[in-house]
Chains A and B, each alone.
Chain A
Amino acid sequence: MTIQWSVKRWIAGVAVALFGGAVQAAWDFTMREPATKLARDILDLHNLMMTIIVVVFVVVFGLLSYSMYAHRKSRGHQAASFHESTGVEVAWTVVPFVVLVGMMIPATKTVLAMRDSSQPDITVKATGSQWKWGYDYLKGQGEGIHYLSVLATPREQIDGGAPKGEHYLLEVDRPLVVPVGRKIRVLTTATDVIHSWAIPELAIKQDAIPGFVRDTSFRAEREGVFRGQCTELCGKDHGFMPVVVEVVSAEKYDKWVEDQQKLIAAAAGEAGKTWALDELKARGAKVYTANCVPCHQATGRGIPGAFPALDGSKVVLGPTAGQIGTVLNGRPGTAMAAFGKQLDDTDIAAVITYTRNTWSNKTGEAVQPAEIKAARAK
């Protein structure tokens, strides 16, 4: 981009920020509209604390400001010489202590309420991976449903090639769907680095730590789509792994669970059949876009020095067993994840077939789901 154009955009940006923005956009000052009792309690606690803080600030700095006005040398004020007063010093040690103890009472109550994740209606596991979330419905209605949830914002919007949509960077292909008014327990874990599963409206933020399972819970009071983001720096695309929860009515949830179970049955059938090369490639292209593009890039060329190219790669062009092993098990110590835990046999077969038959790679080989299943069994 030319420098001149950047400068123009900056000027336009400042102008919009200062004048235009006030009309068309939200200048949020505080937390988002709570959707759970806990979120409301936290907002109330925050507001109470802020009130106390503002009062203390105004009193202390009101006195200081008065002093800065009245006790100036230029107004002829002579310096007093006092420099200690045990009574005053004890008082202003004890008073803040008492105020703080008072503040701790509601603060403690809220913490205790926050950590009660007992007796859930539905238990879901959220697994963070670079850079997507996987959801497994472990218990309760919908048990057995599992899928990945990845950023749905098109690349062109990020790069400035297309106008940004309303939910830019806060939209996913498949949100977590839960029924309203039911207690949802969320177990968090991760496969590679630490992520954090966070939704402001639900007052949830729970780190997802590889090798450990943590838990949190919420009971949404209203229907709606609630959008958060990963909040623990997890590498390159940390800013591009949103958390979206869709809270729906009980009836809608029943319908959703039914649909998902049909999809699972269909997928089981797919895995058994033998696929044609083109079918696999077409499916593989979608899997590649959702899972591989952040590192290996749409061009298959990777990012030199950071992420290896697949176009012309020895692994991709070598024996299928080697590539299947890499995709299933990942490469420890690198960003290459073990996709065997994230994707089903058909998707892995499809994406391997895609990489072996795209760009300058022309092996002409179709890797079948059955081969993946066999490799997993080893």
Chain B
Amino acid sequence: MEAAHAHESGTGHEHAHHRAGIMRWVTTTNHKDIGTMYLWFSFVMFMVGGVMALIVRAELFQPGLQYVQPEFFNQMITLHGLIMVFGAIMPAFVGFANWMIPLMIGAPDMAFARMNNWSFWLLPVAAILLIASMFVTGGAAGTGWTLYAPLSIQMGIGMDLTIFAVHILGMSSIMGSINIATTILNLRAPGMTLMKMPMFCWTWLITAFLLIATMPVLAGAVTMTLTDRHFGTSFFNAAGGGDPVLFQHIFWFFGHPEVYIIALPAFGVVSQVIPAYARKPLFGYASMVYATASIAIISFFVWAHHMYVVGMPVAGQIYFMYATVLIAVPTAVKVFNWVATMWRGALTFETPMLFCVGFLFLFTVGGFTGLILAMTAVDVQVQDTYYVVAHFHYVMVAGALFSAFGAVYFWIPKWTGHLYDERLGKLHFWLSFISFNVTFFPQHFLGLAGMPRRIPDYALQFADWNAVSSAGAFVFGFSQLLFLYVVLKTIRGGEKAEARPWDGAQGLEWTVPSPAPYHTFQEAPTLR
């Protein structure tokens, strides 16, 4: 996938024509500008959600109520979940997609450039609604990010703001994913067949279809909540002929694919980074594509494993156990492929590679605990305990977030034209890696011992591991300021990056100069 350098030079289009000041960002339809805005938005939300997590961990440092009252605690866990999932992780990967997919497939921009602007600018609106909900009468929704009925029916106006925020986030995601799918399917450079695309494009293509299929389901669930709250319907009210468990079915029909909406682009990043630092092509490209697609398809058929204790028939429990365990097969294939990619490579461990190897170890831990949770009988002991909290943070933080960090370090030379500070990057990795495990590994023990999740206060037998977990959380939280510092430092200056700063990196994105000019591939590159 080497491109001839016919484009760019001498065409006179390198010069950027855009408005100055704030209006550049409000009106931009440039995929790079929009990608940048997605990434900064994501980081701000990551900080906001992180502060909420630290409030939670501060309260849980010791038994007893010290800093916050239970109702505020519930609002914090709810907003932390919603903000991290919809505000931090998902926009981060849409940001990577915006920046990198056109560069990877040799397209001049995204397919729907104006809609791209709209998809982004919906996000701050939703974020403002979510944050504003803390300040209305009764405060934000205190239901957990799962928004289960009938608890959601009891909430104050903060719940309505949350519902509208979810609607808007859903619109943004649907438009963003239509854009990504259309771009990938239509704007590839001549000669780039689907099976020659970088793996990141494949994982995003599949993710886009997951999003298009599931976000409307979530929108339906929250709309039913809204009409139950205000317009006298009884979708989730047994007294009116409804069923509270129906909400859970609909929510998790969205919610489980959502896990893969977050994980698949992360897999894509890892599949770009590992070959670059192994200096060896990705092992089993075709099987990676098939495994990704299999994971996505199976993810639609496993939702009720989140609901083993609602009282479903035993046949349902067994079916959902088998279907869930089946996901372990393609996931294992992916892990084996990554290991085989590294096997007999010429490995170096720059920061992006460290984060991706960290991902490999810790995501696998999260996958294995998922297997334990999938066993219906064992799940009865650990459902809704800290074991689940540990499990999904291994998947979401050590999985998606670590891969996002890897992506930033990997691509930041292309974005800024500067190399980041390798020493500080590695320090960021080791601080994050160690403090992450200090925070979340003990939560497995808490869960096995029976500590329920979403409680502001706990019995004395849980005190020790909670103190350790909170200490780790604060180190993890403050380590992320180092990340901010490294990024700012790289933007402001640093060693000049070449077009291809990583000698093992392959692909069209590395054929354009660093920083990437405002307009790239105005003429399609030819693939040799």
A positions within 8 Å CB-CB of B: 1, 6, 9-10, 13-14, 16-18, 21, 25-32, 38-39, 41-42, 45-46, 49-50, 53, 56-57, 60-61, 63-64, 67-68, 71-74, 77-85, 88-89, 92-93, 96-97, 100, 103-104, 107-108, 110-115, 157-160, 164, 166-170, 188, 192-194, 196, 198, 200, 203-207, 209-212, 214-215, 227-240, 303, 305-306, 332-335
21 contacts between A and B (CB under 8 A): A17-B471, A26-B464, A27-B465, A67-B347, A68-B342, A77-B347, A80-B280, A82-B283, A100-B329, A157-B64, A168-B459, A170-B459, A188-B311, A193-B244, A194-B151, A200-B449, A205-B309, A229-B452, A229-B455, A235-B151, A238-B455
Interface residues on B, range: 35 or more
A90 CB, min distance to chain B CBs, angstroms: 9
Residue contact B74 to A83, C-beta cutoff 8 Å? no
Q: Is the CB of A168 within 8 A of B460?
A: yes
A168 and B458 alpha carbons, distance in the complex (Å):
8
**Which residue of B is nearest A167, CB measured?**
B459
CA distance A166 to B463 in the complex (A): 12
Chain B interface helix/strand/loop/mixed: helix
Give A108 to B465 CA distance when docked, in angstroms. Answer: 32
Q: How far is the CB of A306 from chain B (nearest CB, A)?
A: 5
Q: A212 near B311 (CB under 8 angstroms)? A: yes
Contact mask for chain B residues 342-355; partner A; CB cutoff 8 A; 1 contact, 0 none: 11111111000000
CA A77 to CA B318, docked complex, whole Å: 48
Contact of A239 with B150 in the complex, beta carbons under 8 Å? no
Considering the chains assembled together, what is the distance between the CA atoms of A46 and B373 in angstroms? Answer: 10
Question: For the complex, what is the distance from the CA of A78 to the CA of B279, rounded to whole Å?
Answer: 9
Q: How far is the CA of A166 from the CA of B365 in the complex (A)?
A: 34
Question: Whole-angstrom distance between the alpha carbons of A1 and B66 in the complex?
Answer: 9
A4 to B448, CA, bound (A): 35
CB-CB nearest 3 A-B residue pairs: A211-B238, A239-B455, A214-B311
Interchain nearest-CB distance for B48 vs A (Å) = 22
Report the number of A-B residue pairs with Cβ-Cβ less than 8 Å: 329
Q: Which of B251-297 contact A (CB under 8 A)?
A: 278-287
Whether the pair A30, B445 counts as a contact (CB closer than 8 A) is yes
B343 touches A111 (CB 8 A): no
For A45, list chain B residues within 8 Å (CB): 375, 377-378
1/0 contact string of B441-477 vs chain A (CB within 8 Å): 0000110111011111111110111011001000000
Partner of A166, one of B74, B376, B380, B460: B460
Of the candidates B281, B285, B328, B348, which one forms a contact with A96 in the assembled complex, judged by CB atoms under 8 Å apart? B328
Question: Are B346 and A100 in touch, CB under 8 angstroms?
Answer: no
Beyond A28-B449, A115-B317, A170-B459, whether A196 also contacts B61 by CB under 8 A is no
Q: Cα distance A13–B474 when bound, in Å?
A: 14
Interface string of B52-76 (1 = CB under 8 A from A): 0000000001111110001100100
B377 near A110 (CB under 8 angstroms)? yes
A306-B71 CB under 8 A given contacts A60-B339, A89-B333, A333-B153: yes
> Beyond A96-B329, A239-B455: 10 further Cβ-contacts under 8 Å?
A17-B464, A28-B465, A68-B347, A73-B347, A77-B344, A79-B278, A79-B279, A97-B329, A193-B148, A200-B381
A79 touches B346 (CB 8 A): yes
Contacts of A212 in B (CB 8 A): 238, 243-245, 311
Asked if residues A64 and B142 are in contact (CB atoms below 8 Å), the reply is no
List, in ascending order, chain B residues with CB within 8 A of A83's CB: 280-285, 341
Quick check: which of B1-9, B30-38, B118-126, B356-364 contacts chain A, the rest being far away? B356-364
